Amino acid sequence: MTLGDRNHEELVRALPIWEARIEMRPLLGGMTNRNYLVTDARKNAVVRIGGDIPMHGIMRFNELAASCAAAMAGLSPRVLFAKSGVLVLEHIPGRSFSASDVRTERERCVALVKRAHRELGLYLRGPTLAFNVFHIHKDYAHTLREGDCRLISELPRFMAVADVLERAVGSVQLIFGHNDLLAANFIDDGNRLWLIDWEYAGWNTPLFDLAGLSSNNDLSPTETEALLESYFEAPTNDRIRYQFDAVVCASLLREVMWSLVCEKHSDIEFDFVAYTQENLQRFEKAWRKFLGWGGK
Nearest-CA neighbor of 57 among 250, 234, 289, 261? 261
Q: What is the pLDDT of residue 1?
A: 42
Q: What is the pLDDT of residue 4?
A: 56
Q: What is the pLDDT of residues 135-146, one digit of tens each?
A: 999 999 999 999
Task: Specify the CATH class of 96-291 in words.
Answer: alpha beta
Q: What is the pLDDT of residue 100?
A: 97
- The answer to whether domain 3-94 and domain 96-291 are alike in fold is no
Mean predicted lDDT score pLDDT of the chain: 94
Nearest-CA neighbor of 177 among 247, 244, 117? 117
Q: What is the pLDDT of residue 20?
A: 84
Q: What is the pLDDT of residue 295?
A: 56
Q: What is the pLDDT of residue 40?
A: 92
Whole-number CA gyration radius for the chain: 19
Reduced to 3 states, what is the DSSP secondary structure of residue 206? helix
| Residue numbers in the chain where pLDDT is lower than 70 | 1-5, 295-296
Contact status, residue 272 vs residue 234, Cβ threshold 8 Å: no
Reduced to 3 states, what is the DSSP secondary structure of residue 211? helix
Question: What is the residue extent of each domain of the chain?
Answer: 3-94, 96-291
DSSP characters over 225-286: HHHHHHHHTS---HHHHHHHHHHHHHHHHHHHHHHHHHHHH--S-S-HHHHHHHHHHHHHHH
User: What pTM, to 2 d.p., does this model score?
Assistant: 0.94
Secondary structure (H, E, C), 276-288: HHHHHHHHHHHHH
Contact status, residue 109 vs residue 193, Cβ threshold 8 Å: yes
Q: What angle do CA 280, 97, 212 make, to 5 degrees?
A: 35
Q: What is the pLDDT of residue 87?
A: 97
Task: Specify the CATH class of 3-94 in words.
Answer: alpha beta
